[in-house]
Every structure is written in structure tokens, then in C-alpha cells.
Amino acid sequence: MTAPVDTVGVLLAGGLARRMGGGDKPLRTLGGKPILDHVVARARPQVADLLLNVNGDPARFAAYGLPTAVDVIDGHAGPLAGILTGMEWARAAHPRAKWLASFATDAPFFPDTLVQRLHRAVADDGAEIACAQSGDRTHPVFALWPVALADDLRAAMTQEDMRKIDAWSARYRVVHVDFPTAPFDPFFNINKPENLAEAETLFAEAVQ
């Protein structure tokens, strides 16, 4: 699969991981490697370039060799701040990029066709934003965003205190792209310590 040249990506790794007891959730181990290793391996081939959105000292992620950026909105404003950070980085570093794909860093099994399918849905539906869903749940952090919306998003966050992805994206035409949940939900995410044990089981089954 060839990554679209007009699409870059952002890995959202700036959360506080409170339900995991704090620390860097993407650096917890899964299958003998940090969760982030699995996420990068899936995301990198799908986009032309990949930004790692982190908070705190980015040096702890230096081994990944990815560009890094802290939130452009202060105060741990959530994943919407990471999406804005990705949009503004895309505009500065890749002025020809029209699209930003966002990826959670606590869901190591997301499809390797994610960006391809989101693009196809935008084109087929005439939508402005494409968002993944599985089962009866939407996954707004796995989405495709027009970089041209960067100024609109910044205004919403700074002037309206917008913090919820769904509340902001509802202002635009959104298409939801359904992914099958068999043999397991590809957007299974690791929020709590017990989820990590479940992920180990899923990982072991996936590599058999």
C-alpha cells in the first residue's frame, strides 16, 4: 500500500493516563515491545509523514526518530488539542498536505487500511471529515481531517473553550466508516491495567 502524498498523520500520545496510574501509557509493554512500537508500525506506512504529539520532555521518545510537538493549547486540553497541533504542524512542515490522519496510541490493533478507507469514504460521500466506527461505537480519535480547518479549530478551542471532538466535528459533514469487530474489535484500547492483560491475549492470538 502506497501512502497518499497529501496526507500526514499525528499520533496522540499527550494524555495523562490516569486510569493506568499515570506515566506514559504508550511506553507500557505489549508482546515484548512498547505499545507505541506497534502503533508506529501500523501508522507510518499509511501516511507521508508522522508527528508524535506528546506533553512533557519529548526526549523520552527520541528513539522513534519521529518529529515531536507538544500541545499548542496549554492545560492538557485533550485529544482535540493534539489534532490541532497536528494540523498546525502539517501546515508548517508540509504545506502541500491537505489531510491529517489522527491515531490513538493506546489502540495497537487498528487496521492497516484505515487511512485508505477513510479517504475513500470522504470521496464517495462528499464529506469533510471521516471517522472510524466499529460495532455501535464511533472512534473520533481515528479520523481524517482537512488541514484547512486548523484556524476554525483554533478559534473554537481558544474562543469557545471547545474540548470535545464530537461536539466540534458535528459542525461539519462527517462520514462514519464501519470496521468489523470479528475476530476482535480492531480499535480495542488499553485504558486500564486489566486491558493490558486482554491485549496480551489478543496479541498472542494475532501472531499465531
pLDDT of residue 18: 45
Residue 99 placed within a domain: yes
* CATH code where residue 34 lies: 3.90.550.10
Q: Cell 492497516 maps to which residue? A: 112
pTM > 0.85: yes
pLDDT at 201: 84
pLDDT (tens digit, 0 to 9) for every residue of the chain, 208 residues total?
Answer: 577 889 999 999 976 544 444 557 888 999 999 999 999 999 999 999 999 999 888 888 999 999 999 999 998 899 999 999 999 999 999 999 999 999 999 999 999 999 999 999 999 999 999 999 999 899 999 999 999 999 999 999 999 999 999 999 999 999 999 999 999 999 999 988 888 878 888 888 776 4
Query: Has residue 120 been placed in a domain?
Result: yes
45 within a domain of the structure (yes/no) = yes
- Residue 42 belongs to domain spanning: 7-206
Residue 2: inside a domain, yes or no? no
Predicted local distance difference test score (pLDDT) of residue 170: 97
Question: Could you give phi then psi for residue 170, rounded to 5 degrees?
Answer: -65, -15
Give the number of domains in the chain: 1
Instruction: State the Cα–Cα distance between residues 85 and 82, nearest whole angstrom.
Output: 5
For residue 139, is it within any domain? yes
- 1 belongs to a structural domain: no
What's the Cα-to-Cα distance from 11 to each of 36, 54, 136, 176, 182, rounded to whole Å? 9, 8, 24, 20, 25
Question: Within a domain: residue 37?
Answer: yes
132 in any annotated domain: yes
CA distance 182 to 47: 26
**In whole angstroms, what is the distance from residue 69 CA to residue 10 CA?**
10
